[in-house]
């Protein structure tokens, strides 16, 4: 529990989910204003680290996910910022929990590779990504995304007809995110990776480019039938 100087309180829980290729960590919280027992939902942000057998095995932002390290008992520590306007709560602190995960570690079914890992400021560079499906499970559908840091002025473009700069706003606006590219891939087959080439125009501010892949694993009409893979990050220096 986090407590403030005026009597405000926030009860924070640490939760971790597995059973997919990623371990998702969240920190839901309930807040109370001073002098009342009424609870309010809070917004929680921050960062987390998971240790197993005394070794850091995963970390990230809240809420967020990282590749699942496998079954075991984890000591999870999170630095949290909890806010709630109705209750007047704005607290920071550290929470800890011991969590035991039993789901087996799944073999990766998809992966992403890129031909270079460093960009230079003030240049325009072509990056070639290869998207692999290594499993017979599922089908050839996947959504591949790239995104840079908006504040740097980076621009990502491609002539690939499967890809677009995402639309923002509402009709009739046709504004697009110039620092992001979204690709719909429908032909992924084992042994036949998809190739996506993009051009990255850097300013002097210099932006990293991150990539992620969402893939489809049909199992009838099951609600959750896919997963996410974190692709390589291309740095800039």
CATH number of the domain residue 116 falls in: 2.60.40.2410
pLDDT at 51 over 70: yes
Q: Quick check: 147 and 207 in contact, CB under 8 A?
A: no
| Same-domain status, 70 and 162 | no
Q: Are residues 160 and 191 in the same domain?
A: yes
pLDDT score of 226 = 73
Please check whether residues 93 and 154 belong to one and the same domain: no
Report, as an integer, the average pLDDT of 83-87.
82
Ranking 53-57, 62-66, 109-113 by mean pLDDT, the lowest is 62-66
For residue 77, pLDDT over 70 is answered with yes
Q: Is 77 in the same domain as 138?
A: no
Token code pair at residue 123:
């240049």
76 shares a domain with 125:
no
Summarize pLDDT for 94-151 with one digit per residue, the tens.
999 999 999 888 888 899 999 999 999 999 999 999 999 998 888 899 999 999 999 9
Q: Which residue's entry shows tokens 């992620």?
A: 212
| The pTM of the whole model exceeds 0.85 | no
Residues with Cβ within 8 Å of 55's Cβ and at least 6 positions away in sequence, in order, are: none
Asked if residue 119 and residue 86 are part of one domain, the reply reads no
- The CATH number of whichever domain residue 18 belongs to comes to 2.60.40
pLDDT for residue 18 is more than 90: no
For residue range 109-120, list pLDDT tens digits in order: 899 999 999 999
Look over the chain and give the mean of its residue pLDDT values, rounded to a whole number: 91
Provide the domain limits for residue 135.
110-236
Cα 84 from Cα 55, distance rounded (Å)? 34
**Region 182-196 average pLDDT:** 96
Q: Residue 227 has what pLDDT?
A: 78
Q: How confident is the model at residue 5 (pLDDT cuts 50, 70, 90)?
A: confident
Element (H, E) at 108: none
Contact 28, 21 (CB under 8 A): no
User: Are residues 208 and 189 part of one domain?
Assistant: yes
Q: Is the pLDDT of residue 234 over 70?
A: yes
State what percent of residues in the chain have pLDDT above 90.
66
Q: What is the pLDDT of residue 224?
A: 64
> Are 85 and 149 part of one and the same domain?
no
Q: Do residues 122 and 220 share a domain? A: yes
Q: Of 101, 124, 156, at which residue does a domain stop?
A: 101
Which pLDDT belongs to residue 9?
Answer: 86
Domain count for the chain, please give it.
2
């Amino acid at each position: 529990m986090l407590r403030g100087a005026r009597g405000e309180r926030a009860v924070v829980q640490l939760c971790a989910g597995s059973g997919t290729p990623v371990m998702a960590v969240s920190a839901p919280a309930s807040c109370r204003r001073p002098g009342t027992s009424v609870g309010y939902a809070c917004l929680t942000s921050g960062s987390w680290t998971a240790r197993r057998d005394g070794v850091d095995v995963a970390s990230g932002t809240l809420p967020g996910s990282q590749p699942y390290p496998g079954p075991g008992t984890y000591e999870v520590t999170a630095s949290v910022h909890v806010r709630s306007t109705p209750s007047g709560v704005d607290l920071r602190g550290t929470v800890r929990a011991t969590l035991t995960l039993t789901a087996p570690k799944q073999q990766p079914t998809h992966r992403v590779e890129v031909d270079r890992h460093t960009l230079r400021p003030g240049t325009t560079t072509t990056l070639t990504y290869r998207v692999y499906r290594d499993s017979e499970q599922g089908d050839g559908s996947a959504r591949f995304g790239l995104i840079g840091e908006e504040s740097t002025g980076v621009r990502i473009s491609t002539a690939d007809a499967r890809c677009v700069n995402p639309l923002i706003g509402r009709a009739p606006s046709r504004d697009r995110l110039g620092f992001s590219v979204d690709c719909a891939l429908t032909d992924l087959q084992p042994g036949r990776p998809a190739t996506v080439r993009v051009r990255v125009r850097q300013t002097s501010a210099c932006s990293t480019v991150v990539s992620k892949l969402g893939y489809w694993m049909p199992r009838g009409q099951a609600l959750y039938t896919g997963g996410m893979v974190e692709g390589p990050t291309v740095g800039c220096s």
